[in-house]
A and B are shown apart, each in its own frame.
Chain A
Amino acid sequence: MAVNVRIPTPLQKLTGGKGDVTASGGNVKEVIDHLEKNYPGFKEKLYSEDGELRRFINIYINEEDIRFIDSDGSQVKDGDTISIIPAIAGGSGKIQK
Chain B
Amino acid sequence: MKATQLPPELRVPVITTYDEAVLDRIGNTPLLKIKNIVKDLGNKDIEIYAKAEWTNPAGSVKARPALRMVRDGLASGAFKRGMELIDSTSGNTGVAYALIGRILGFKVNLVLPSNVCKARKGIMAKQFKANLILSDPMEQSDGAIKLCRKLYQENRDKYFLPDQYNNPSNWMAHRDTTAREIFEQTKGRVTHFFAGIGTSGTLMGTSRGLKALNSGVKSYAVEPAESLHGIEGLKHMESSIVPGIYDISVYDEKISVTTDEAYHMVSRIEDEEGLLVGTSSGAALVGAMKLAARIDKGVLVVIFPDSCEECVVAHGEF
Which residues of A come within 8 Å of B, CB atoms? 6-11, 13, 19, 45, 48, 54-58, 83, 85-97
Closest residue of chain A to B120 (Cβ to Cβ) is A89
- Structural contact, B312 and A90, CB atoms closer than 8 A: yes
Q: Known interface pairs A55-B316, A87-B316, A88-B113. Does A6 touch B138 (Cβ–Cβ under 8 Å)?
A: yes
- Structural contact, A45 and B138, CB atoms closer than 8 A: no
Q: Which 10 pairs across A and B sit closest by C-beta, in order of nearness?
A: A56-B230, A90-B117, A89-B91, A90-B311, A10-B227, A10-B228, A89-B116, A93-B318, A96-B114, A90-B312
- Structural contact, B142 and A9, CB atoms closer than 8 A: yes
Q: Known interface pairs A55-B230, A88-B232. Does A10 touch B115 (Cβ–Cβ under 8 Å)?
A: no
Interchain CB contact (< 8 A) of A54 among B90, B230, B313: B230
Closest residue of chain A to B121 (Cβ to Cβ) is A92
Residue in B92, B138, B239, B312 with the greatest tally of chain A CB atoms within 10 Å: B138
Question: How long is the Cα–Cα vector from A93 to B90 in the complex, in angstroms?
Answer: 15
- Structural contact, B318 and A88, CB atoms closer than 8 A: no
Residue B55 interfacial (CB < 8 Å): no
Closest residue of chain A to B230 (Cβ to Cβ) is A56
Q: Known interface pairs A13-B239, A95-B115. Does A88 touch B138 (Cβ–Cβ under 8 Å)?
A: no
Main secondary structure of the interface of A (DSSP, over half): loop
Question: How long is the Cα–Cα vector from A54 to B259 in the complex, in angstroms?
Answer: 10
Q: Known interface pairs A55-B230, A93-B318. Does A85 touch B137 (Cβ–Cβ under 8 Å)?
A: yes
- Structural contact, B115 and A91, CB atoms closer than 8 A: yes
- Structural contact, A9 and B226, CB atoms closer than 8 A: no
- Structural contact, A89 and B90, CB atoms closer than 8 A: yes
Contacts of B107-154 to chain A: CB distance below 8 A: 112-121, 134, 137-143
- Structural contact, A92 and B138, CB atoms closer than 8 A: no
Contact digits for B303-318, partner A, Cβ 8 Å, 1 yes 0 no: 0000000011100111
Interchain CB contact (< 8 A) of A9 among B139, B232, B313: B139
- Structural contact, A92 and B259, CB atoms closer than 8 A: no
- Structural contact, A9 and B115, CB atoms closer than 8 A: no
Q: How far is the CB of B29 from chain A (nearest CB, A)?
A: 21
With a CB–CB cut-off of 8 A, which chain B residues contact A10? 140, 227-229, 236, 239
With a CB–CB cut-off of 8 A, which chain A residues contact B313? 90
Question: How long is the Cα–Cα vector from A57 to B261 in the complex, in angstroms?
Answer: 16
- Structural contact, A56 and B90, CB atoms closer than 8 A: no
With a CB–CB cut-off of 8 A, which chain A residues contact B112? 89
Interchain CB contact (< 8 A) of B138 among A19, A55, A57, A91: A19
Interchain CB contact (< 8 A) of A8 among B140, B236, B316: B140
